[in-house]
């Protein structure tokens, strides 16, 4: 997974590397250059925030093994899980669910053959039924409506 500016840094002068732009900027955008007036500069911390949010939205699709470690990185989202035993595609599971806040997702198995869901956590979606390394798990999350 590709990420951007996920490490929080506070510089000696107190600035942070990532800062959410103020609400007025989010509503109206940056002030363009006008006759005789310099436009508003694009601070690095706002650009870092923008690119981090963009990369997070693009990279919601995660692939892991049967342990499902860090397969859900989004809060307040719909979750779709598909898993298959790599050497025997007749062993599979397909489930959907919803994650409220940063809690544990509530999942409903739509169809399965041999594989079952393990104990879910806020970030992990384990799948049982074969050696974890032999199971491919794909989790897709999307924002709530």
Q: Tell me: the pLDDT tens digits for 30-83?
A: 888 888 888 888 888 888 888 888 877 776 678 889 998 888 877 888 899 999
pTM (whole model) above 0.85: no
Structure tokens at 140: 């897709």
Q: Is the pLDDT of residue 101 over 60?
A: yes
User: What long-range pairs does 122-125 form, CB within 8 A, spacing at least 24?
Assistant: 122/72, 123/69, 123/70, 123/71, 123/72, 123/73, 124/67, 124/68, 124/69, 124/70, 124/71, 124/72, 125/68, 125/71, 125/72, 125/79, 125/81
């Amino acid at each position: 997974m590709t990420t951007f500016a996920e490490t929080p840094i506070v510089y000696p002068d107190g600035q942070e590397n990532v800062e959410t732009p103020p609400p007025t900027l989010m509503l109206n955008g940056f002030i363009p250059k006008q006759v005789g007036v310099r436009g508003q500069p694009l601070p690095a911390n706002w650009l870092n925030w923008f690119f981090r949010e963009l990369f997070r939205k693009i990279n919601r699709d995660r692939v892991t093994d049967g342990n499902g470690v860090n397969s859900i990185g989004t809060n307040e989202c719909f979750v779709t899980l598909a898993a298959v035993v790599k050497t025997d595609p007749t062993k599979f599971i397909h489930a959907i669910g919803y994650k409220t806040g940063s809690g544990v997702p509530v999942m409903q198995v739509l169809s399965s053959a041999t594989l079952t869901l393990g104990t879910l956590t806020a970030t992990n979606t384990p799948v049982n039924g074969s050696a974890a390394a032999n199971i491919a798990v794909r989790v897709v999350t999307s924002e709530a409506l």
